[in-house]
Chains A and B, each alone.
Chain A
Amino acid sequence: MMASTHRWARVAWGAGLAFLLAAPFVGVYPVFLMTALCFAIFACAFNLLLGYTGLLSFGHAAFMGSAAYATGWLVRSAGWSPELGLLAGMLLAGALGLVVGLIAIRRQGIYFAMVTLAMAQMIYFVCLQVPFTGGEDGLQGVPRGNLFGLIPLASDLTLYYVVLAIFVAVFLAIIRIVHSPYGQVLKAIRENEPRAISLGYDVDRYKLLAFVLSTAIAGLAGALKTLVLGFATLSDVHWSLSGEVVLMTLLGGMGTFAGPVVGAVTIIGLQNFLADRVGSWVTVIIGVIFVVCVLAFRKGIVGELLAWQQRRHSR
């Protein structure tokens, strides 16, 4: 039985990847997919914190957005090449994450969430006031440049494969982190923190590292999005985006690998698809999905799929 699952897994895995590789040629709009992949990276980063460490951060957009602005400015006004800009954005988000984390980690549960929210609002305010961000107008006209100074990214097709490569790298990296001994400790902390403390683990250190990793990857997502779309705006740091990423993770399935990706693509796809057709009802639909997920679908799409698989096999 395991052998056949193994084969099935390989086939399905390959099919999924093949689809993503071929997508632009099948008629899928590459810019849409790139945006969805950026949000998928964001959701994966968030899931690392919520699904695998059990920490609900209510201000995660602040990290995505700050990196978006930083990279945007560096690439546009300081003339940096895109890969350095991405790296810088990621590091900035991680550094911010360190500062916020140091303040927030000491609190538990809802207090942790509230502190992250407070700090995120302050970051929002800074982004609003500081001249280089362009305030309400946003930071615009970010060129795509040449990757490593060699590969021009102006073409949507080229950039798509770069984004896809980064996405796959992040995805695999997160799998590695979760399966590493460090990841196991995180799981232990999520399951039963007092126990982990009693076993001698410096729980705060582990949580802080998870937080910084999560914010750094979120920053990567933001920086990448800036390159794809050519601008960074206040929507990237607004608390409603923080709420959206919670939904993406919840809908897709907390604590699974594919969950946040599924959730992100679904929500972005829905917003895109519905915006033209139903206008302001998009908010309502998102709200309904939230409510339905919380009441009846807590494992999310992928979680439910997994649970169903397990039930089938245990018969």
Chain B
Amino acid sequence: MKLKKIAAASALACATLLGVAAPAQAQVSGDVIRIGIITDMSSVYADLDGQGGVEAIKMAIADAGGSVAGKKVEVLFADHQNKADVAAAKAREWFDTQGLDMLIGGTNSGTALAMSKVAAEKKKPFLVVGAASSALTNDQCTPYTVHYAYDTVALAKGTGNAVVKAGGKSWYFLTADYAFGAALQNDTSTVVKAAGGTIVGSVKVPLNASDFSSFLLQAQSSKAQILGLANAGGDTINSIKAANEFGVTKTMKLAGLLVFINDIHSLGLKTTQGMYLTDSWYWNKDAEARAWSRRFFEKMKRMPSSLQAADYSATLQYLAAVKATGSDDADKVLAQMKKTKINDIFAKGGYIRDDGRMVHDMYLMQVKTPAESTEPWDYYKVVEVFKGEAAWQTKADSKCALWK
């Protein structure tokens, strides 16, 4: 018993010392501007943002000169593995012990919502690039959260409206059974019905299902014209693959409600041709975007997704605001950002609203056929541009207390 106690005490002390080694640096940044990104670096969404996002941020820092207002700029990054607890804990730790000045939020809505709360508590700016949930600027808005790239409302308004207009009136949803999928389905249904379409039915599919065949069969027997894919990442890829296999694409058109260029690259044009999707940016949309994307391609050997471009833009705009105000004080910088128009490779004439939403153009695009594609990664043709406010949540529908 005594021996156990010795072992207990000494081992306990040793183990705690290990803990000391970990996050014990308690220096506060006085003379360094620290930007942090917490995103999925190793799991289902790693290609959309991940390491490429970090590179994009580094490009922005380099383009801003490497140092701003006399202070060097550094970037931290961490992998949240799609876990809200990991994300929030890391964010809190960075704010408390690393003197983090600005946090960028990567993919996954759950993590973004958690980090948003931490940032609000610590009163530091939080720029959400990867997550989709419109709640970030709606019932869960905070003065410190800026939702930068896209959200579920924009996706719904984009794809939903456009597809109905193009003749796809009857819809059937294949929905990933979690909050994000449900939100996407709800938002899109509202838009489709308002545009004069009908919802024939829907089916909830467990997240990360390995086999979609039976759900697709149900979709097919509904005789709807459009199959709305209210899912993301691996689920989207698998359901598209299966839809082709089972001949569903012969009788229904696919509407990908959240699809990134990496997904198309993974599946290939043969499988995805003709599919409609809404995105906030496309590498080939104009000369400026193309030039920047080539730079990105040199580093990463793949074309940037809209999220990676947004990472670049968010960092650039933040640093510009720091330069303009001459300080890294959160309130001053956010105020500066909110009164400055955003004009860079990501958005033209973009601005940040009172509810934290960054308003900019959204693009409805259609996947090219293999014949139409002239070079690698040349996958989309732009069908329609939603200018400014058209794509986003309206004040009437918003529950954000900051935007009245």
A–B touch (CB < 8 A): the answer is yes
Of residues 1 to 53 in B, which have CB atoms within 8 Å of A's CB atoms? 2-16, 18-24, 26, 41-42
Contact of B180 among A136, A258, A270, A301 (CB under 8 A): A136
B114 at the A interface (CB under 8 A): yes
Verify A5–B6 contact, CB threshold 8 A. Answer: yes
- Nearest-neighbor residue (CB-CB) of B112 within chain A: A137
Q: Whole-angstrom distance between the alpha carbons of A187 and B90 in the complex?
A: 41
Interface of chain B, helix or strand or loop or mixed?
A: helix
**Which of B80-88, B165-173, B221-229, B251-259 lines the interface with chain A?**
B80-88
Given contacts A27-B24, A32-B22, A275-B79, contact A305 B93 (CB under 8 A): no
B267 at the A interface (CB under 8 A): no
Verify B110–A233 contact, CB threshold 8 A. Answer: yes
Verify A231–B85 contact, CB threshold 8 A. Answer: yes
Given contacts A28-B24, A269-B18, A305-B7, contact A276 B12 (CB under 8 A): no
Of residues 204 to 249 in A, which have CB atoms within 8 Å of B's CB atoms? 229-231, 233, 235-236
Contacts of A233 in B (CB 8 A): 83-85, 110
Contacts of A36 in B (CB 8 A): 19
A128 at the B interface (CB under 8 A): yes
- Nearest-neighbor residue (CB-CB) of B181 within chain A: A136
A2 at the B interface (CB under 8 A): yes
- Nearest-neighbor residue (CB-CB) of A300 within chain B: B11
Contacts of A17 in B (CB 8 A): 9
Q: Whole-angstrom distance between the alpha carbons of A29 and B88 in the complex?
A: 15
Contacts of B4 in A (CB 8 A): 256-258, 306
A149 at the B interface (CB under 8 A): no
Contact with B along A114-142 (1 / 0, CB 8 A): 00000000000000110000111110110
Chain A interface residue number, banded: 35 or more
Verify A306–B3 contact, CB threshold 8 A. Answer: yes
Verify A231–B15 contact, CB threshold 8 A. Answer: no
Verify B19–A28 contact, CB threshold 8 A. Answer: yes
- Nearest-neighbor residue (CB-CB) of B42 within chain A: A280
Q: Whole-angstrom distance between the alpha carbons of A227 and B69 in the complex?
A: 39
Q: Whole-angstrom distance between the alpha carbons of A19 and B92 in the complex?
A: 24
Contact of A262 among B12, B22, B110 (CB under 8 A): B12
Of residues 234 to 287 in A, which have CB atoms within 8 Å of B's CB atoms? 235-236, 252, 256-258, 261-262, 265-266, 268-270, 272-273, 275-276, 279-280
Contact with A along B56-97 (1 / 0, CB 8 A): 000000000000000000001011000111101110110011
Q: Whole-angstrom distance between the alpha carbons of A257 and B5 in the complex?
A: 8
Contacts of A280 in B (CB 8 A): 41-42, 79
Verify B11–A301 contact, CB threshold 8 A. Answer: yes
B113 at the A interface (CB under 8 A): yes
Verify A135–B178 contact, CB threshold 8 A. Answer: yes
Contact with B along A5-42 (1 / 0, CB 8 A): 11011001111110110010011110111011000000
Contacts of A6 in B (CB 8 A): 2
- Nearest-neighbor residue (CB-CB) of A309 within chain B: B3
Contact with B along A66-77 (1 / 0, CB 8 A): 000000000000
A192 at the B interface (CB under 8 A): no
Contacts of A268 in B (CB 8 A): 19
Cβ contacts A to B, 30 pairs, < 8 Å:
A12-B6, A16-B8, A16-B9, A27-B20, A27-B26, A29-B22, A29-B24, A29-B93, A31-B89, A32-B93, A33-B19, A137-B180, A138-B84, A138-B85, A138-B110, A230-B117, A231-B85, A233-B83, A233-B84, A233-B110, A252-B11, A257-B8, A258-B7, A261-B8, A261-B11, A261-B15, A265-B16, A272-B19, A276-B76, A302-B8
Interface residues of A (CB under 8 A from B): 2, 5-6, 8-9, 12-17, 19-20, 23, 26-29, 31-33, 35-36, 128-129, 134-138, 140-141, 156, 229-231, 233, 235-236, 252, 256-258, 261-262, 265-266, 268-270, 272-273, 275-276, 279-280, 301-302, 305-306, 309-310
Interface residues of B (CB under 8 A from A): 2-16, 18-24, 26, 41-42, 76, 78-79, 83-86, 88-90, 92-93, 96-97, 109-110, 113-114, 117, 133, 177-180, 207
Q: A128-B177, A306-B7 are in contact. List 16 more A-B contacts (CB 8 A).
A: A12-B9, A20-B16, A26-B20, A134-B179, A136-B179, A137-B84, A137-B179, A233-B110, A235-B86, A256-B8, A258-B7, A265-B16, A266-B15, A275-B79, A302-B11, A310-B3
